[in-house]
Amino acid sequence: MKQKQTNIDISLLLILFSLFCISLLAVYSGSGQYETQDPFYFAKRQVIWYLVGFGIMAGTAYIDYELLERLALRLFVGTVFLLILVHFFGTYKNGSQRWISFGVLEIQPTEFMKIILILLLASVLNQYQHKRFSFTESIIPTCKIMVYTMIPFFFILIQPDLGSALVILSIAFTLMLVSGISGRMIMSLSLGFIALIAFLTFLHNYYFEMFSKIIKPHQLDRIYGWLSPHEHASTYGYQLTQSLVAIGSGQLTGSGFTHGVQVQGGKIPEAHTDFIFAVIGEEFGFLGAVTLICLYFLMIYRIIRIAMRSNSLFGVYISAGVAGLIIFQVFQNIGMTIGLMPVTGLALPFISYGGSALLTNMIALGLVFSVNIRSKQYMFGRGWD
């Protein structure tokens, strides 16, 4: 007997609303260093982005996600075409060519690709249903995944946008982990990636001219700033050193809302966008940072629960891909503010100011809600919390 219910995950909505509130506080405080006539300028725009995002999320949740399986490959081809257009006709901003301008409207195909790749890889893996592959049997599905992943990875990397390129890899890796692909195959790919890093290190130390053709100068500067931030504190290690000072000075309870010395003094560039975690760390301290991280853990937990309750393997893969998307972005953004990861342009999901990344994450959650709404639950059977 079916339960009559809408299957809307209220807990996930409450978590999202909590992140929305934290975002407004952090964006308002982080943008205090900028001289604007309206001190609420960035916060009000963030509210607008969130309202648009909630609308798009609701619209995505309304669509039957299984209908998207048939469209996944066409959407992928169309978005790859847009990435190619970016390469030849894209708009330059801050040293990168990531946008296509249509008059007053600018789009960033990279953000669309994150969602579409989840749909496409979920579609590919869904063809095999619950089959568990041997190492040999894993070769064909793995090759399919690698081809579909490396095409957008290449075009995104040359924009250059290393952060988003790594997100593309994290999505593919996450979906392979939850699929029937052999663990030996996944381990082999992981070892291959480690070998690639070792090879690049070898080129850097002994054949730097060849290395410089692969890694762009500004990317290398960020690596230097990550590995030795204090030695380069006045140049490419500046953001990280100031972020570490800010987060460290927050101690247990923080310096207080809008009272962060580093943040309000303008010593942390992009404090309301990429380095917004430094705002939370300095002004709300360890307790504020832990609260935020716990909310992310709860969000991932709810997404995983939705995946486990799904009656469709396609829905399971979609939810897993969204979880991988959010996990990597959170780890990368927080990691770069505390020195665990190199600095990239990835925003902190649902917290950083801006439209493109926020809308992408809202669409991703909309897909998860779509999976949850269409999961059939029974009085006596799976689906109970």
315 contacts 288 by C-beta, under 8 angstroms: no
Residue 139 lies in a domain: yes
Rounded CA gap, 358 and 16, in Å? Answer: 12
Q: Number of structural domains, the chain? A: 1
Residue 219 lies in a domain: yes
pLDDT of residue 6: 62
Residue 34 lies in a domain: yes
pLDDT of residue 95: 66
Please, which pLDDT band fits residue 71 given cuts at 50, 70 and 90? very high
- Between 119 and 271, the higher pLDDT residue: 119
Residue 383 lies in a domain: no
Amino acid identity for residue 200 in this structure: L
pTM for this predicted structure: 0.91
Rounded CA gap, 309 and 303, in Å? Answer: 10
Q: At residue 92, does pLDDT exceed 90?
A: no
Q: Per DSSP, what are the bridge partners of residue 101?
A: 106
> pLDDT above 70 covers what percent of the chain?
94
pLDDT of residue 291: 96
pLDDT tens, position by position, 185-199:
999 999 999 999 999
pLDDT of residue 221: 82
pLDDT of residue 41: 87
Q: At residue 80, does pLDDT exceed 80?
A: yes
Nearest to 332 by CA among 162, 173, 196: 162
φ/ψ region of 7 (left if φ > 0, alpha if ψ in -120 to 50, else beta) reads: left
Residue 124 lies in a domain: yes
DSSP label of 185: H
Nearest to 328 by CA among 161, 118, 170, 189: 170
Q: At residue 183, does pLDDT exceed 70?
A: yes
pLDDT tens, position by position, 285-322:
999 999 999 999 999 999 999 999 998 999 999 999 99
User: Who contacts 86 (Cβ-Cβ below 8 Å, separation ≥6)?
Assistant: 97, 98, 99, 100, 109, 110, 155, 159
Residue 382 lies in a domain: no
pLDDT of residue 384: 39
Q: Could you identify the residue written with the tokens 């953004």?
A: 333
Residue 274 lies in a domain: yes
In terms of residue numbers, what domain contains 87?
Answer: 10-373
pLDDT tens, position by position, 22-43:
999 999 998 877 766 678 889 9
